[in-house]
Amino acid sequence: MPESSPPFPNPKSLCVFCGARFGTDPASRTTAMALGQMLANQGVTLVYGGGGVGLMGLVANAALDSGGKVIGIIPRFLLEREAGHPDLTETSVVETMHERKLQMFERSDGFVVLPGGLGTLEELFEVLSWRTLGLHSKPIVIIDQGGYWKPLAALLQNVVEGGFAERTHLDHVAFVNGIDEVLPTIAAMPRSAGLAKRLDRV
């Protein structure tokens, strides 16, 4: 796509990937709640893993408290461990992790990543790798809360520089520093932006 292609339309729904724990940086909790509030205030439906624990629970509760719509997709076997949220707008109980990720993917117009652990990385890398296979062109915005994702930006840059991915594969990935940048970044995301520009922002 040429640089002049139109930007993505405003998303109706965004899927948030984030920790089922709180992490050690207390500021992550504030950011998670601010993200939930922002999505609700902007009329963007939150799609997420359906749990009530960790940063996941905070994003969902903040969105609900602000009058937003929240869709949770949770495997039956995790209902107890991740405290399946009882008060969501819609809960979809699935049988496997693969079904969960597919529904999260299908029901959202883009992805927002907060600090998280291995599950968050797994979810992120799946949508990233699907992108490299040309399976979608949905935007992926990574909130670099407190520099938490700086090593990830360096790793992705290294993958490209090492010749294992094209720069264009990361055209739809952006690192941002705060919640306020999420929707403007998605709206302005050019379809053929250079990787370096985005990773430089970290």
Chain position carrying tokens 């079904």: 99
Which residue lies nearer to ligand AMP by CB, 145 or 183?
Answer: 145
Piece of the chain touching ligand AMP by CB under 6 A; list 58-66, 116-124, 130-138, 179-187 = 116-124
Residue 6: CB minimum distance to ligand AMP, A: 32
Q: How many binding residues for ligand AMP (CB under 6 A)?
A: 16
User: In angstroms, what is the minimal distance from the CB of 54 to ligand AMP?
Assistant: 6
Indicate whether 19 belongs to the interface with ligand AMP (CB under 6 A): yes
Burial 149-179 (b: 16+ CB within 10 A, else e): beebbeebbebbeeeebeebbbbbbbbbeeb
Residue 122 within binding range of ligand AMP, rule CB under 6 A: yes
Count Cβ neighbours within 10 Å for each residue of 7-20 and write b for 16 or more, e otherwise: ebeebebbbbbbbb
Q: Which is nearer to ligand AMP, 69 or 101 (CB)?
A: 101
Q: Residue 83, exposed/middle/buried by CB under 10 A (0-12, 13-18, 19+)?
A: middle
**Is 109 a binder of ligand AMP (CB under 6 A)?**
no
Among 36, 57, 123, 142, binds ligand AMP (CB under 6 A): 123
Question: Hey, what are 16's tokens?
Answer: 């948030």
The side-by-side arrangement of strands in the sheet containing 173-176 is: 90-94, 70-75, 45-48, 13-17, 111-113, 140-143, 173-176
Residue with tokens 């009058």: 67
Instruction: Confirm or reject binding of residue 70 to ligand AMP (CB under 6 A).
Output: no
Closest-approach residue to ligand AMP (CB)? 119
Q: Give, as ranges, the residues between 78 and 107 that touch ligand AMP (CB under 6 A).
A: 78, 82, 97, 101
Closest approach, Cβ 110 to ligand AMP, in A, equals 18
Using CB under 6 A, pick the residue from 40, 46, 47, 49 that binds ligand AMP.
49
144 is a site residue for ligand AMP (CB under 6 A): no
